[in-house]
Amino acid sequence: MAKPIVLIAEELSPATVEALGTDFDIRDVDGTDRPALLAALAEAQAVLIRSATQIDAEALAAAPALKVVARAGVGLDNVDIKAATEAGVMVVNAPTSNIISAAELTIGHILSLARHIPAAHASLAAGEWKRSKYTGVELYDKTVGIIGLGRIGALIAARLQAFGVEIVAYDPYVTATRAQQLGATLMTLDELLAQSDFVTIHMPKTPETTGMIGAAQLKAMKKTAFVINVARGGLIDEDALYDALVAGEIAGAGLDVFVSEPPVEKKLLGLPNIVVTPHLGASTDEAQEKAGVSVARSVRLALEGELVPDAVNVAGGVIDPFVRPGIALVEKLGQVLAGVAGHGALTSLEVDVRGELAAYDVSVYRLAALKGYFTNLVTENVSYVNAPLLAEQRGITSTLAVSEDSVDYRNTTTLRGVLGDGSVVEVAGTLAGTKLAQKIIGLNGYDIEVPLADHLILMTYEDRPGIVATYGKELGDAKVNIAGMQIARQSAGGQALSVLTVDSPVPDEVLERIAAQISATSLRAIEIVEA
């Protein structure tokens, strides 16, 4: 019987090939040579790539036997995940391969800024000897602010302990207890910016975090402070940063990532008080080898028909066909739960599965719930293997409960989260009809039935006439079309819940006006990212 064909489209470490073993027909191709790539994909069951090879809809169409695309690294910008999922092709990456490298590079940037190492090197290499010009500062007894206490933020905190610094942190999804375990003091973003001598950012790039460090935030920092971004380009407003550096509003900056890579705008790069590197966060021998070995193991699992924990989509595996359709639903319910919780940090998450599903192994639903919950909350690509680790690092316990009892639906899945203050948030969903339509059927004690959509608005307020007209007018004026709506209440004149599905995201200023006009006790806009 012929061995499955595994295509290696870019240079990978010898350890990667060794990890694949001898069970496959391993072939090499230059992934940047498009005709050669498309021809080689015709027979391949798996393809291993790094960042230069584009696996898009055209490439997937040329690969009828393809089962898995493996990216030996973290980023997946060069893989069309949606097209792969539609084609039934699993996409895997190595989400933990570069975290140590990224943390160490951050420390390198901090030290380079504190001691002017790159500028001093360039000066001496040019034949100058200007010791006094490059007088720096010690890290000892300084305050370092970490924005984002995920895995990389936690590694940075651990490494900074040896320098005798005070560590403060901002992360709305981490409890004070977890921060304390890492040696950090939680505070608001404004407090962190005002108190820190060094600020390093480790947040995911979302519509909410893009430009989160802008002109106002830079003005709030000490004139002697430095800001570092080794996470995602665009978290710092580059124009605002340039203005702040030129005006002396902050002392300096360190950037490894940019809005455009390579940077189109060069003005930042020429400033004397900035240290820049060309996106080197994962550029170490160790990170590259770990990435290659990790995805090689994933390829073996995928081609053996097993569930792959590092899959960023779900295709293939040994999950029962009756269970499989619910995975995407549960992931989306996790995203809704995160939105409902807002800036509250979970301490526990229970996944309660009821109905006919109780007869099957639904353990993957717990992983799917965690994956969905963290999807928009962390910098890393979230997968089935790192989601439990992310929960553990944040002090979140997760459990799965299964019961045959389901009164109104054949099957229901409820996600129930306990926040740090003891309050509970809850969302329930089901797959309805022959088309298995994804629906939300419960939200924080309210019985509803609305389709899961990409753009959701959830509002609670005192039940009274005129509310629908008020928010309907505001959304209409903003050219936002309401696709669906349901109102639920527990008693006349009591608290009511409106759930809207809309065709496009709603601007923040519109949401603020609606909240003020209806005296909302809560208002959440939730954007669902497709699994």
Long-range contacts of 131-137 (CB under 8 A, 24+ apart): 137/197, 137/224
Q: pLDDT digits over 273-317, tens only?
A: 999 999 999 889 999 899 999 999 999 988 876 677 778 876 545
Contact, 522 vs 459, CB < 8 A? yes
Question: In the chain, helix, strand, coil percent, each to 5?
Answer: 35, 25, 40
Same domain, 128 and 224: yes
Instruction: Look at residue 406 in the predicted model and tell me its pLDDT.
Output: 86
Q: Is 435 inside any structural domain?
A: no
**Could you say which of 244, 276, 308 is where a domain stops?**
276
What is the spatial distance between Cα 251 and Cα 248, in angstroms, rounded to a whole number? 6
Q: pLDDT digits over 22-35, tens only?
A: 889 999 999 999 99
Same domain, 169 and 272: yes
Residue position matching structure tokens 């029962």: 320
Same domain, 23 and 116: no
Q: DSSP for 342-378, please give it.
A: TTPPEEEEEEEEEEGGGGS--HHHHHHHHHHHHTTTS
Instruction: Look at residue 318 in the predicted model and tell me its pLDDT.
Output: 57
Q: pLDDT digits over 147-158, tens only?
A: 999 889 999 999
| Residue 261 annotated in active site | yes
Domain that holds residue 254: 99-276
Q: How many domains does the chain have?
A: 2
| Residue 279 annotated in active site | yes
Same domain, 151 and 111: yes
The region of weakest confidence among 15-24, 87-96, 400-409, 441-450 is 87-96
Same domain, 205 and 107: yes
Closest CA to 436 of 356, 329, 319: 329
- Residue 442: HSE in the Cβ half-sphere, 13 Å Cα cutoff: 16
User: In this structure, what token pair is assigned to residue 251?
Assistant: 């002392």
In percent, the amount of the chain with pLDDT more than 90 equals: 69
User: In this structure, what token pair is assigned to residue 390?
Assistant: 């992310």
Maximum average pLDDT range among 23-32, 79-88, 261-270, 307-316: 23-32
What is the spatial distance between Cα 207 and Cα 36, in angstroms, rounded to a whole number? 38
**Could you say which of 276, 305, 335 is where a domain stops?**
276
| CATH value at residue 122 | 3.40.50.720
Q: Which of 232, 354, 366, 394 is catalytic?
A: 232
Q: Is 329 inside any structural domain?
A: no
Q: Is 339 inside any structural domain?
A: no
Same domain, 75 and 107: no
Q: Is 494 inside any structural domain?
A: no
Q: Which of 279, 354, 366, 416 is catalytic?
A: 279
Instruction: Look at residue 276 in the predicted model and tell me its pLDDT.
Output: 96
**Could you say which of 242, 276, 310 is where a domain stops?**
276
Q: Is 383 inside any structural domain?
A: no
- Average confidence score pLDDT of the chain: 91
Same domain, 159 and 307: no
Residue position matching structure tokens 């978290």: 235
Query: Which pTM value belongs to this model?
Result: 0.71
Q: Is 126 inside any structural domain?
A: yes
Same domain, 47 and 168: no
Same domain, 83 and 218: no
Q: Tell which wins on pLDDT, 1 or 415.
A: 415
Beta-carbon neighbour count of residue 200 at 10 Å?
26
Beta-carbon neighbour count of residue 507 at 10 Å?
12
Instruction: Look at residue 381 in the predicted model and tell me its pLDDT.
Output: 66
What is the spatial distance between Cα 193 and Cα 530, in angstroms, rounded to a whole number? 34
Same domain, 88 and 198: no
Same domain, 135 and 173: yes
Phi and psi for 482 in degrees, rounded to 5?
A: -85, 120
User: In this structure, what token pair is assigned to residue 28?
Assistant: 């090499």
* pLDDT grade for 378, boundaries at 50, 70 and 90: confident
Closest CA to 165 of 201, 202, 198: 198
Q: Is 405 inside any structural domain?
A: no
Instruction: Look at residue 279 in the predicted model and tell me its pLDDT.
Output: 92
Same domain, 147 and 229: yes
Q: Which of 261, 265, 304, 306 is catalytic?
A: 261
Q: Is 270 inside any structural domain?
A: yes
Q: Which residues contact 265 (CB under 8 A, 6 or more apart)?
A: 238
